[in-house]
Structure 1
Amino acid sequence: MTVLPVVSSQEARRHARRLVLKYPGELATVLGLHGLSTACGLTAPHLLGGLVEDVRSGIDSVSTAALLILGFVLAQSLLLGLAVSSTARLSEKVVAELREEFLEDLLRLPLARVEEAGVGDVLTRSTRDVDALARVARYALPSTLVALTTIATTVGALLLTGWLMVVPVLLLVPVLWPVTRWYLGRAREGYLRERTTYAQAAETLTETVTGARTVEALRLVPRRTERMDRAVAETYGAQRHTLWLRSVFLPVTDTAIALPTVATVILGGLAYDQGWVSLAGVTAATLYTQQLTGQIDILLFWQDKLQVGGASLARLLGVRQEADPRPAATGSGERAPGDLDLELRGASFSYTDGRDVLHSLDLTIRQGERVAVVGPSGAGKTTLGRLLTGTDLPRAGTVTVGGVPLADIPRSTLRADIALVTQDHHIFRGSVRDNLLLASPAAGEERLREALEAVGAWGWASELGLDTPLQGAGGDLAPDRAQQLSLARLLLSDPHTLVLDEATSLLSPRSARDVERSMAAVTAGRTVVSIAHRLHTAHDADRVLVMEAGRIVEDGSHTELLEKDGAYAALWRSWHATA
């Protein structure tokens, strides 16, 4: 399995920074609230240090100082609550935008690339990675922001108390610096590998579940179980590796965190004994150090989650590198009015470098023409259909409609105007009506009925009821009915060109013939390219293309090609002999 790419950590950080900086007002509010909260938190230790000094001198009342300390603690709690709330709102905005960007990039992936990567990789990026990033945004980022703000201001407060009081904190550097570098140097690759194994396990599981009947029929259960065991073992090994990283990193940091507070008490006592610092200064410095080390501990703890989030972000952004380069909503190309001819000029295509499956095709399909594409399996018929719809772009040459390259037409326009209908279909969870309205939200009752009648589905659909809920994926519809519903949805979308790739393959020959006759009336005036093994489609077409080994070897009407007595005539005789 060739998974989708992953961007570098630097690119992931740049993208995250760009997203956050898109909301300067919210960011300024968050930083301001965190700063005020931290300032209130630093005032209480200072007042407490002064209170200790005053008590030593024999002060009778501490009520004023106690009330001030209480006031600043309450103010800190209030400001911290507002800061966390503001951070959460900003984080949700960023995550929502990132989700939308990822979904857009995912929908722009070429189908061939999705098939190559496998559903497991796409599925884990859409679920595990998005969820991991959301958790980081909701919890890790706010905590990290609080910790960084507190650390910076607390160091400043320690310096004001006395430069000597900063020395104990410096004891952390020779311990934390090397272990943190060691951890960060390994964590990203470890978490990326972990997520790749999730994708492999999901791919194996999905294949087994969707092909359960085939697995049982061919007695493949032991082999599929063995393959799943290997995938789980790889996931287990990857998780143990990241667990080992945490098992080294976190205990070392937790132990090191205790050193500065102990050192502050010892050094502060010696400094007080020598008269270098007051008792108030020692008290405040000890409390500042405790506060500082606590925030450092929080910062280091969330590093693990930040590494997970960074790996997930790199995987989400990696999808963009494979996305279709065509514009999403606007493009430079404009189709000439009334000119909807499809043309291929020197078009070649390969799924694997150096192995073309289509070879320098030259072809013109006139607007409104009904063309049948026939040939043996593996001749390149389906690939030709994908090029004609812009699903795939040619390796060399051009594919145009109205003289405009399909690569320059906005995807939304292209998909609305040229539809590829394959033997695969999908029924969404919802009612029959919901599934039809996906193609045309404004369609009324009469138009829905016309579409269903056109594909021969009105009888069973009206009996079932248009508002009857469906399980989704055609789970409660027979395959032929699910395909009829998909075809009705297609007619409602009203494209000017249809490319039908075995679109009626799941229907019985009689039903398929009836549907195709009904569609012939509905598709009048549209360009229709039919790819099929059932040669009655070719008999009804204006023109027949015969493909062999990625080339068009014959081109003409049904009658002309029979008279020519070439490849098409041989296919026709063979089909009649077995029909």
Structure 2
Amino acid sequence: MSTTDTRVVPAALRTATGREAGRWVAAHCRDVPWLTVATVLTTVAGAALQVLPVLLLGRVVDGVVEGEARSILVTIGALMVAAALLGAAATAVSTYLIGRLGADLLARLREGAVRAVLGMPSARIEQVGRGDVLSRVGDDVAVISKGIRTAIPTVFSAGVLVVIATFGMFGLDWRLGLAGAGALPAYALALRWYLPRSAPLYRKQRAAQADRAQALISGLNGIDTVRAYRLEGAFRDKVTQESWRVRDLGIDVFRFFGRFVGRENRAEFIGLVLILVVGYALLEADAASLG
């Protein structure tokens, strides 16, 4: 004799896809074109100025090897210091502009979230649970806010720096450029491994936080009933269970990200080894200078 599980799984609010989120961000950036253009230009300038001291350092090494005059080395050293200072200033301005652009985006996101919740039928809120609603306008927005302040400026600046550094290596020698580009497939494989697996894990973490909020809210709203029937222990155990689930998922997310960082470090190691091997071969063949 078989039995059928008749437990009702509560519905959840719909989650935007990555494509929908990208379209929303692009539409917002088009609303503030000057701020968007200034952010991109300062980021590119900061990345280019970070690469320039490295190129000048190679010129210093060649100058020492060739026994050039000290005045030339001093001039190049001054240019390196100036490039470093200008690069730091451009990076600081870029970070500020990205933060300002992100703050505007975040304000619109908060307004839209609150407007959507206030316009939602009460029956729909009861169906999905207040915990899911509060998690969307609370925890989710807090995560996005942290990402705008920290992750987005870092990722965007690093991406621009990688592109400029790759072109810079090709400018020095096409063989060095190919050696540096040899790490790109390893980076791509790491992203291909991480992205499809990370989204469900993060989504599961957000759902667990919504369940925890629902457990807290249901107990607080019915506190008189809970006390009347002496259900304090049951509700406390429920909240504790949901909190432990959120903690365990947070640890899983951190471990998973650590594995991704390990794969990224492996890609960086591959690129570094290729550049050193090719550079040594070119140096031995007198096809390139030490600098």
Tell me, yes or no, whether TM beats 0.5.
yes
Aligned pairs for 1:172-191 (under 5 A) are 172-191=183-202
String of CA shifts for 1:57-113, please: whole Å, max 9, x gaps.
112302111111111111111222122112211111111111111111111111111
Matches of 1:148 and 1:173 in 2, distance apart? 12
Matches of 2:238 and 2:86 in 1, distance apart? 59
Please say if 1:49 is aligned against 2:58.
yes
Give the alignment partner of residue 41 of structure 2, picking from 32, 43, 46: 32
**Alpha-carbon shift at residue 233 of structure 1 (Å):** 4.2
Identity %: 22
**Alpha-carbon shift at residue 187 of structure 1 (Å):** 0.9
Aligned pairs for 1:25-424 (under 5 A) are 25-61=34-70, 62-280=73-291
Aligned to 1:15: 24
Matches of 1:179 and 1:45 in 2, distance apart? 27
1:36 counterpart letter in structure 2:
A
Aligned to 2:15: 6
Aligned pairs for 1:457-496 (under 5 A) are none
CA spacing shift, 1:68–1:174, aligned 2, 3 Å: closer
Matches of 2:185 and 2:45 in 1, distance apart? 31
**Alpha-carbon shift at residue 223 of structure 1 (Å):** 2.4
- More helix by percentage: 2
- More strand by percentage: 1
Matches of 1:179 and 1:68 in 2, distance apart? 37
**RMSD between superposed Cα atoms in Å:** 1.8
**Alpha-carbon shift at residue 136 of structure 1 (Å):** 1.2
- Structure 1: 5+ residue stretches without partners: 281-579
**Alpha-carbon shift at residue 240 of structure 1 (Å):** 3.9
CA spacing shift, 1:7–1:82, aligned 2, 3 Å: closer
The answer to whether the 8 A contact 2:170-2:178 is kept is no
1:144 counterpart letter in structure 2:
V
**Alpha-carbon shift at residue 125 of structure 1 (Å):** 1.0
| Max Rg structure | 1
Matches of 1:46 and 1:176 in 2, distance apart? 24
SS in 2 for 1:279: coil
**Alpha-carbon shift at residue 174 of structure 1 (Å):** 4.2
Normalised to the residue count of structure 2, the TM-score between the two structures is 0.90
The answer to whether the 8 A contact 2:132-2:214 is kept is yes
Matches of 2:197 and 2:244 in 1, distance apart? 21
CA spacing shift, 1:106–1:44, aligned 2, 3 Å: same
The total of aligned residue pairs comes to 280
Normalised to the residue count of structure 1, the TM-score between the two structures is 0.46
Greater RCO, CA 8 A, separation 6+: 2
1:170 counterpart letter in structure 2:
A
**Alpha-carbon shift at residue 225 of structure 1 (Å):** 2.9
Q: Which consecutive segments of 4 or more residues in structure 1 shift more than 4 A?
A: none
